[in-house]
Amino acid sequence: AATAPRIPSTRLALHHFDTSYSLHLGALWPSVRAGLLCEQKYGALLNNFAAVDRVHQELELLNATDFISEAPQKAQHWQQGAAVGEARGCQEGSGEGRTVMQAQMMTKAEMSPPLCTSISSKIKCYTFPRGDITRFRPARLDALGLLDYYLMDAASLLPVLALNVRPDDFVLDLCAAPGGKTLALLQTGFCGHLAANDISVSRTKRLYQILHSYVPKKVRDTVSVTSYDGRDWNQVEGGTFHKVLVDVPCTTDRHSAMEEDNNIFHKRRTKERQMLPMLQLQLLMAGILAAKPGGDVVYSTCSLSPLQNECVVE
C-alpha cells in the first residue's frame, strides 16, 4: 500500500465517466467530455436588492447578454429535436449534467406554460457569448453595502426557473448550501417565506455569508436557515410548502473530473458514492412529504448519471 502508485481521484472519476456515460450518451459523449474538462464559465446573477442599473449597462457594453430573457426566443428551437437540445445543453451550459437533464425536460414537456412563465421572471443572469471566455470582474458593493451580482454556473438557475415560484409561496430549499439557488429564489421577489436547510453546519455558514452580502435585513427576516438532516424534514415541518427544491448531493461531475480536493471518487469515499442514489431517493421522498397537497417539487443534480437522475425519479 505504501509503494503502490496512487491514482488521482480525478483520473478515477474520468475513467468511470468514460465507461458509463459513453454508453448512456453515445455519440454525444466526446463533446460532453470536452465540456466537463473545459475551464468553468460563469454567469452573473444580478442582485435585484442592489442598485444594478449601471451594472446592466456595463455588462451589455462587454457584449454579455441575459440568457433568461433570450430563452423564450430559443424555446421553439429547443422543441424541434431532443438530440439537438441535449447537445447544445452540454455545450452552452458549462458542461454540467444539470443542463443536459433540463434540456431533455424542456423537449419532453414541450416547454410547458409554467416553465415559460417562470423564464420571464425577475431573475436576470448575464453570460458571455459562446466561445467568449472573458471573466467577469469581482462583484462590487453598492451604496447600501450589497454586492451587485453573484457569479455562478448559469445552468444552476434552471431548477429555480422550473420551480416557478408564485407570489406569497412558502418555499423550501432542502439542500440549500452554499446558497446560489437560495439567492436566486429570493430574486424572484415572490417568496412569502423561504426555508433554507442544509445538513452541513460549515456550508450553512457560507449560506449566511451570502445572505448578508446580497440581501437586505427586511428580506433576510423572511428566510429561516436550518441544519437538519433533510431526510427527516417531514418530522420537522411536513406538508406545509407550496414549492420544494431538492437539489441533492451527487457526484458533481465537473468537480470530480477537475479537482482533487473533496473529490467523491477518492477511494476512501467509495461506499459514500455507491450510496448516493439511496440518499437522493430519501431526500426526494422527504421533499415530497414536505409539500402541500397539489404543491410542486423539483429534483435536480449536477450529474449526468441516469442512476442519480431518471432512476431516482422513477
Domain boundary assignment for the chain: 39-76+119-312
pLDDT of residue 169: 96
43: confidence class by pLDDT, cuts 50, 70, 90: very high
Looking at every residue in the chain, the average pLDDT score rounds to: 86
User: Which pLDDT belongs to residue 3?
Assistant: 72
User: Does 178 sit behind a cis peptide bond, omega within 30 degrees of 0 on the bond before it?
Assistant: yes
CATH number corresponding to 39-76+119-312: 3.40.50.150
User: According to the model, what pLDDT value does residue 237 have?
Assistant: 79
Identify whether 302 is a catalytic site residue: yes
Q: What is the pTM assigned to this prediction?
A: 0.85
From CA 99, how far away is CA 101, in angstroms rounded? Answer: 5
pLDDT at 221: 93
Strand, helix or coil for residue 136 = coil
Residue with cell 414541450: 110
Annotated binding-site positions for S-adenosyl-L-methionine: 175-181, 198, 229, 247
C-alpha to C-alpha distances, 285 to 216, 232, 276, nearest whole angstrom: 33, 10, 14
Catalytic position from the list 191, 250, 302, 311: 302
Q: What pLDDT sits at residue 99?
A: 39
| Residue list for the binding site | 175-181, 198, 229, 247
Percent of the chain beyond pLDDT 70? 83
pLDDT tens column, 12-42:
999 999 999 999 999 999 999 999 999 888 9
Give the model's confidence band at 265: pLDDT under 50 very low, under 70 low, under 90 confident, else very high.
very high
pLDDT at position 110 is 43
Which tens digit of pLDDT belongs to each residue from 79-127? 554 443 443 344 444 444 453 344 334 334 444 454 545 555 689 999 9
Mean pLDDT of 68-80: 63
